Structure 1
């Protein structure tokens, strides 16, 4: 049989290269942080969660979209359960409804709530608390990534979707059945209280809070802790990928993603395991804008970027609703206002924005220890700042001249080869690293 998976990695791409494979395309923007002549430098994906004069933290989670989707699913589930049991009640007849039917009705509504709550809040909180940010330090010209230990482990990670789905099923099923059994117990049809369902229900909730620290303890005992790796800024790989979404017999859509990844110096063509960030950017211009946002911060400083406006939180949401209401009054289009209000209520939008704000302030910071990279992140005297390499300086000048001639970055091919600049020698030794939870810092 033919082997479609190569045993060896493809040669690592260089800045400016473009590759087409399986209907998709990949544009390499870095290594070597070069200007791409983007008209804008915008945080398209809203990944800049904090920055100061020396450092920037980038990560996912600063968006209410997942909570809005969860609110939509909750409304769908509750309406479905209400309609289903209402039809059953009409078919059975009688008023008040049969106690068994009433208990099942309440249990169905509770089931819908638990399904959304366990996955959209408990599981996502577990996921976000195990996704440390990537910290960029412009003065040291280094980027800190948190890297997973190599190889597979016999225990599933706490944010494993299959594991979370199993725990969610235990919570929701026991909640539904427990509600029915409690109803039976209250009306005297059952002799004993359903302690089995209660224990299963409580145990499912406890699992989400107990398993993560237990997993970390076992990993420490087995010496499989994550490590913080300090990667030189000029080695970091930035790529933009365009991939079709395939369905049965047809292409169902397209997606553009931007990725910032740490290369593995000991295995050219590979990246360090479990590190990096991949976000949706909507198109090639969005990817170039996102890269320019990060590059300008690192090369020119915080004054060279304009952070994206905050689009979450109760204050922002209230102002958004007030603007929409004023516009509807100005145009005398109250039907539009009613549609707007119905949609926001259906999505539980105000709660979604409130919880996103809560998650940003209280959940995401738990992903790293309070003193993580404290010394490394302190500002340095300007005399101690790391300087760009000669290759970056020369190539940047060549590129700016090419842009004046109307050339485009994505059409030039390998930038180093194009302008005859020898790439800096690739690192062969591992990057500096230390245990993620350790207090050790590199000066």
Structure 2
């Protein structure tokens, strides 16, 4: 049985705090009216790309250095294993089981004549295949137009797949949700979590949505909170919501370039001097980075970031580029009075009883709002 993620019903006037149950799981809404969740604003899925004083790009995150380490280090490790380890094993076996050193040396050179070329062509072919796949993926990524959140205008810009004309949606009308799904597969019962945003096209009424998988419900909510906090001027930089291993300096760019490698090495030696890390950890760190070509993966990340930025600027629709231009502060859009009132109530309830699930607080606030008109007529 395959696992199916429940779908959000964005056409049926959802509001924050509502939960819809399905046979495969639950959809819980966090917006419209993006109320504060109280969770840390953290982009666990690395789906956020560029962040500046005007807008945040979501859906095309920055490349990871680990991906390049696997692409380079994996084939090299295969080469070392086949070309060097196998001959060493043959040497030891013949040394113990044969006639001593002469048989061992003969076995070593006999195996290495074959294993070296097997490892060379096998590892080289695998690396070439992964590099080609990485370049293809880079090209696809650079052609994707991200969802852009403009906090000066308090609007969100979508360019759905197959469209060239951008669609602009008011920030407070955007629907956001988290999903919990459970299903039985051939591997047993599995859980799945996700985070999504969506809207109805203002002219056609057609539904559009953007969804991402996460590895837990708190992480899904935190992803939304990172966007919400940015739009409400509570966070301002990518580093505040997505610092890789806390290795970004105050003036470092927000991607995993060579500066992250240098910061990691500096911190490692400080921890070694303080006795927090042992010599085995220190040696393993250096061996790992030697096997993954030292700083080359970080330099490839820097190259990939520059490439994506250049190509994204070329593919950006003109209307979206103009919409992204800065406004004078007097032109900045202001939050609605309803949004400010409900947000304040949510903050008060979170402070009075911390630790509650955010959508429980939302539902309680809306229930009180629904009773207000009735109470005023009595």
The Cα shift of 1:393 comes to 2.7
* 1:29 match: secondary structure: strand
What does 1:292-441 align with in structure 2 at a 5 Å threshold?
Answer: 292-300=225-233, 306-309=240-243, 310=254, 312-331=256-275, 333-348=278-293, 350-369=295-314, 372=317, 373-406=320-353, 408-412=357-361, 414=363, 417-420=366-369
Verify: 1:276 aligned to 2:201, yes or no.
no
Ranges in structure 2 where 5+ consecutive residues have no aligned partner = 91-105, 244-253, 372-378
Q: Deviations over 1:141-183 (max 9, x none)?
A: 111112123xxxxxxxxxxxxxxxxxxxxxxxxxxxxxxxxxx
Q: Greater share of helix residues, 1 or 2? A: 2
Displacement of 1:125 after TM fit? Answer: 0.8
Name 2:28's counterpart in structure 1. Answer: 27
Q: Secondary structure at the match of 1:56?
A: strand
* Contact residue 57 and residue 149 of structure 2 kept, 8 A: yes
Which of residues 168, 176, 180 in structure 2 aligns to 1:230?
168
Deviation at 1:404, TM superposition (A): 3.9
Q: Which residue does the alignment assign to 1:36?
A: 37
Deviations 1:274-306 (A, max 9, x none): x635253x4333333332332232223655993
Structure 1 position 135 matched with structure 2 position 141: no
Alignment partner of 1:258 is 2:203? no
SS of aligned partner of 1:124: helix
> What is the match of residue 157 of structure 2?
144
Change (3 A) 1:78 1:402: same
Corresponding residue number in structure 2 for 1:163: none
CA shift, 1:108, in A, is 2.7
8 Å Cα contact 1:85-1:105 kept in structure 2: no
Question: Could you tell me how far apart the structure 2 residues matched to 1:404 and 1:5 are?
Answer: 33
Q: 1:338, CA displacement in angstroms? A: 1.4
Aligned mates of 1:25, 1:349 — CA distance in 2? 45
2:131 counterpart residue number = 117
1:189 maps to which residue? none
Scaled by the length of structure 2, the TM-score of the pair is 0.72
Which whole-Å deviations, capped at 9, do the CAs of 1:107-134 have from their partners, x for residues lacking one? 3333122222122x21221221122222
**Equivalent residue number for residue 290 of structure 1:** 223
Q: 2:310 and 2:370 mapped to 1: Cα distance?
A: 42
User: Following the alignment from structure 1 to structure 2, what is the Cα–Cα distance between the partners of residues 114 and 79?
Assistant: 17
TM-score between both structures, scaled by the size of structure 1: 0.62
1:352 and 1:19, CA in 2 relative to 1: closer, same or farther beyond 3 A? farther
Q: Which moved more, 1:25-34 or 1:367-376?
A: 367-376
Q: 1:403–1:323: structure 2 CA closer, same or farther, 3 Å change rule?
A: closer
Q: Is the 8 A contact 1:47 1:62 kept in 2?
A: no
SS in 2 for 1:132: coil
- Show the 5 A alignment for 1:10-21: 11=12, 13-21=14-22
**What do you get for the CA RMSD once the two structures are aligned?**
4.1
| 1:391–1:421 Cα contact (<8 Å) kept | no
- 3-state DSSP class of the match of 2:262? helix
